[in-house]
Amino acid sequence: MDISIVVPLYNEEQSVPELIDWINSVMESHDLSYEIIVIDDGSDDRSWKVIQELSARYDTIKAIKFRRNYGKSAALYCGFEVASGDVVITLDADLQDSPEEIPELYRMITGEKYDMVSGWKKRRYDPLSKTIPSRIFNKTARIATGIPLHDFNCGLKAYRSEVVKSIEVYGEMHRYLPVMVKKAGFSAIAEKVVPHRQRKYGSTKFGLGRFMKGFLDLISLTFVLRFGKRPMHLFGTMGTLMFILGFLMAAWLGGQKIYYLYHGIRLGLVTESPYFYIALAAMVMGTQLFVAGFLGELISRNSPYKDRYLIEEKINV
């Protein structure tokens, strides 16, 4: 199969029929074999009923319905697991991503041998309250990750199948899929300018809070990717340095006391010096950090835990 199209959605009963019809029209006109994988992220409207009706018309549809809302990352993760196409393309269900871009994205992956192509909505139709924070967020992400993309959060992306099978999307990390792809060893990442369409139905499911979450996720992702499998390297190093610093300060205070006593010079109690408590605190904190790193190492190497998403119903999966 040429293409797997993964569509996560939440409460999009009005837009999903038009989107599915549009995708099928584009794909058939380009004579590409494809499947549409719709992930209903716990919608509480008629979205799943609409998907069932559409699946009776189109045999290209596969669908999964979550029992509750887990978030976009969970939907993409399950969609990637099911995908069987040589190229996997994601797009949002709100009709703001154009399916007309799919053939060109497919060509860039197969013809130009990119591992990933990310959409860039260069001209947006959002209010300033969204575009300005978005630009700040993307600028920060470029600096922090070293990946020169202008739109990390664009839902329209294309991947080689091997890429999506090699990464694990969790939490709210869908914003940083390019980072996860690069860290997995796939460095051929390109960007394509794509049109941004105004929302036709309903309202956005993301508020201004997503930008704060995005910055926090960036810090979390940076830590997990660098130290997730070797926490001892971070906590052990910090703990050792703090303990050594505290020990040297305590040794200096003790040596000073012995020197003064030897020369008959009167000196107050060591515990009267503020440096004693600083040294003591540094050694205690250093020991705690070292132990935290040791425990983290044990947990990361032995934990069998994996995210589980409760699925209520499936279609053709």
pLDDT tens, 247-273?
A: 999 999 889 888 888 888 877 787 888
pLDDT tens, 77-105?
A: 999 999 999 999 999 999 989 999 999 99
Rounded to an integer, the average pLDDT of 50-62 is 95
- List CB contacts of 66: < 8 A, sequence separation 6 or more: 39, 40, 41, 42, 74, 75, 309, 310, 311, 312
Residue 6's nearest CA partner among 70, 64, 58 is: 64
CA triple 53-55-59, angle to 5 deg: 150
Q: Residues 50, 21: contact at Cβ < 8 Å?
A: no
pLDDT tens, 211-243?
A: 566 667 667 766 766 676 678 888 888 999 999
Beta bridge partners of 119: 192
CA–CA separation, 155 and 289 (whole Å): 39
CA–CA separation, 147 and 101 (whole Å): 22
